[in-house]
Amino acid sequence: MYTVIRSYTGSPTLADDLKKRSKDIETEIRSVSGFIAYYLVKTSNGMASITVCETQSGCDESTRRAANWLRQNMPNLNIGTPEIISGELAFKFATYKTTTV
């Protein structure tokens, strides 16, 4: 499995704006081949998205789609290029017995 983290700064309301369009974003990213999971994290000066896919090419495709989606759906958004961290997932564990967000 592979993971890509895209960190966007300079727009404190970006996570809230994207949350309002979560269904559209889900439709775009969920259809990536080998998609496993997506998370959006609100930060003090922007947000970070985390995508997990079966392959590196899936993560690369999710990054391409995220950039295209932002350009097409939020053309007036004034943010720079995100910092991107990606790599092979070394190990994982999770408990999903929490309330939904």
CATH of the domain at 78: 3.30.70.100
Q: Phi/psi zone of residue 23: left (φ > 0), alpha (ψ -120 to 50 degrees), beta?
A: alpha
Residue 69 lies in a domain: yes
Residue 57 covered by a domain: yes
Q: Is residue 10 part of a domain?
A: yes
pLDDT of residue 100: 62
Residue 25 forms part of a structural domain: yes
As a whole number of angstroms, the distance between CA 70 and CA 74 comes to 5
Q: Locate 23 and state its tokens.
A: 């269904």
Q: What secondary structure letter does DSSP report for 7? A: E
95 belongs to a structural domain: no
Q: What pLDDT sits at residue 79?
A: 82
Number of domains in the chain: 1
- Is 98 inside any structural domain? no
Q: What is the pLDDT along the chain (101 residues), one digit of tens a residue?
A: 999 999 999 888 899 999 999 999 999 999 999 999 999 999 988 999 999 999 999 999 999 999 999 989 988 887 888 999 999 999 888 887 766 66
Q: Domain of residue 36: give its range.
A: 2-88
Q: Please report the pLDDT score of residue 98 as a whole number.
A: 67
- Do the domain assignments include residue 101? no
Per the listing, tokens 């690369």 go with 60
Give a yes or no: residue 94 inside a domain: no
